[in-house]
Structure 1
Amino acid sequence: MRSVRARLFVGLSVLVVGTNIGFGLLSYRRAAEEATELQDAVLHQVDRFAVQAGGTGLDLTDAQDEPEFRVVIEVLGAVRPGSPLAGVPGDTPDGISTVGKGGARWRLLVRTRPDGKRVGIAQSTASRDERVRDTLLQTLVPLLLLLPCLLLLVGVIIQASFRPLSVLAGRLDARPPDDLRTLPAEGVAVELLPFIDAINRLLGRVGEMVEHRRRFVADAAHELRTPVTALTVQAENLSRLGMPAEALPRLAALQGGIRRLGHLLEQLLSLARYEEGTAAATAGTSLDAAARDVVAAMIPVADERSTDLGFSRIEPADVRADPTSLRVMIRNLLDNALRHTPVGGRIDVEVYAEAGFAVFRATDDGPGIAADEIDRILDPFVRGGHVETEGTGLGLSIVRSVAETCGGSVVLANRTDRPHGLVATVRIPAASEARSDSAVIP
């Protein structure tokens, strides 16, 4: 049994049930002893008032009395026929004992009178056993009725005791992956403090590791910009020289590789900056204006690929965000869509306000994302299964970093109205200011 909660419940239940059983046995034993003492006292009283007065051969039972209350007085050795004491030896020693007769049990007191006669006084043990059963039932019935309540109370107490662990686990699960704040220790049970302290130390170490990685990536990308720029200049100088025709394809490949490397460095610097969250938010930044600027700038690229890039819906939508960050986010989303949309495809852009959020949505005709990759496609350097297109695997990570810096979120989903295609939706909390200009573009 691996569950601590189950072990506690079973252990406490066994303890409660065992205690009740022990108490019942103890009560039964005590009740039997008291009933036996009471019956012996009755026999002694009968001996004192009847036998010593000379009465023998008596059957002290009223016609209306229960048979188990019979008291029989006989002289041993001269017992009447049919008497319960028939067959009791005449030399039975004085004192109290229990004898059996025809399946019944009798409590027998033997006394020797001054005249030398030995008298036996007997009473059935049925009355005594009945009193014991009554006492036992009066004791055990309340316990048996209380037992389910006790077990239920044990379960409730255990559940309540473990509730802080469930609450703590829920809070940790609800945190975003980059939330490395320490857990508060106020109001937490003393038993959980070592556990929380260990988690906080772990979060601190993870935070330091993440910060070191971010700084290393940013520093490395910054240091590599200068040599990459020098390589770009040298490649351009080579292109101006008279080179053999067979060398031109190699030069073009070299220049393409340098451009991709430069783009990768810029993306790494952008990712480090937005992960740090240092971009200054501006009140009332127009998301629709930023989208117009980026779409206009990317129209020539879309035309080269015969891709229909444009707005299907655009409405006023203001957010509290850095304008440059918004443009970088939109550019990366549209660049990703252009890379994966086939020639002659279509990319629809929507900007609108909804339920207190500003929404940017881009819908393309590309291949979409495999179901097993869609949950991690926003992670750095994850490019998905369609690697035939150029890319660094950082664009969507930058989109997520910008959106989360603004308090928003990014959702990628495959299209359901067509066999293929992707819908990228960014939701950012809207600013309080609102404008009235709007348009829906067919």
Structure 2
Amino acid sequence: MNKLTLLLLLAALPLGLLAETKQKPTLSFFGAQLAGNDEGSIPPWRGGIAGPPANYKPGDWHPDPFANDGVLFTIDQSNVTQYRDKLSDGHLAMLARYPDSYHLRVFPSRRSVSYPSDIAEQTLKYQGQARVVDGGAGIAGIVRGIPFPEPKNGEQAIWNMRLSYKGGGYRGYFTTALTAKDGTYELGVSGHEIEYMYGDSRSTLDNLNNIKTRAVMYTLRPAKNAGSIYLYHFLLNSRDEERRNWAYSPGKRRVKRSSMISHDQPMSGSDGIHIWDQGDMWLGPITDFNWTLLGKREMYVPYNAYQLHSGATAVDDIVQPKHLNQDLARYELHRVWVVEARRREGSSHRYQRRRYYLDEDSWRVMFAEHYDEQDEVHRFSEAHHINYYEAKVFYTTLDAYYKLDTERYYLRHVDNDYSPFDFSFDQNASYYIPGRLKMKAKR
């Protein structure tokens, strides 16, 4: 392994977060350009948010570290031509569809993403060992870190997204909001307990057992589904099966293997606005599509969404007719990897083309477009992230799913009514077995 090298520009950074990779000394260990852009509108990466501010208390909503930033400008239908080259087809479609209300407030760019030092160490440890296998269905040779800091193709880039750092797991509640055209909405509430096996410090190549993520979901609302509990094992290699599901029904008081919603099937409770593989912006089998890496672009993306996340912001403040309240959303100029997916021969997926925009610092999807057979944007999904700085996890605080032909949308991960996610939550493997579901129902 090459000796770690500090660039003069970033000499103040922690040694573990700056690395001269085997490819280029101008990149971070996770593959992002360390320098800003020539215009200065994108700053250098200096390690991101180092830790919580003094006014943060564990369990509270996260104070906005950039609360003093002012709006640089607002993009709307009247000036969209000026900014078109840095906007996605999805944002252009939203601006055209809702010219009187949709807009993007652009703030100074803050490269807030940070990582625990051991993620840098593990990425360097496994450097060059990761490989995509089984036609894209799986990945091998790595158990922690960013698999492909310098992706050579679309499959490698989307695997970086799939395995982006999300901590070791979390416990928390979040709300969904299914909206009508007039802005009224129906709430769903569920509790989640999640363990990310990939990325866990205890995982090894020998003990991972093909399980990427274990998750338990408790349904609280709507009332007709309250008391239902679901267990999921998401697999690292989906060649033979995508995941394993179990469900506990309070009416029948028993646990059974549940049917598997997947691919382009509607997500329960979304009235068809959200399809399954839009979860986490991309949750489906990679083998449904052929993936092409289109390169990097500077684009206006949702970022540092602390106002949407705030405990002082109510769901009523967020939901409005046709789209979420854009006066609460923050956009910044960042570099993103653009990855295009085209339906693979033999796939019956409803979308022939999709496009994903991956943040260069976190490998998280910022937004995605889903094109119909006429090659028009039919669905547009957008993720609003913050740095959960007590854990150095860059993760969503709200996901918005728009179905443009119906003028309706669906929100997930809304966390304003409950305490934020607890990233210190930690359980052993026995917590995530089917035999424990009945016990959880009695809690």
- The bucket for the TM-score relative to the shorter chain is under 0.3
Q: Which has the higher strand share?
A: 2
Structure showing greater relative contact order (alpha-carbon pairs closer than 8 Å, 6 or more residues apart): 2
Q: Output the TM-score relative to the length of structure 1.
A: 0.21
Q: Output the TM-score relative to the length of structure 2.
A: 0.21
Q: Which has the higher helix share?
A: 1
Which structure has the greater CA radius of gyration? 1
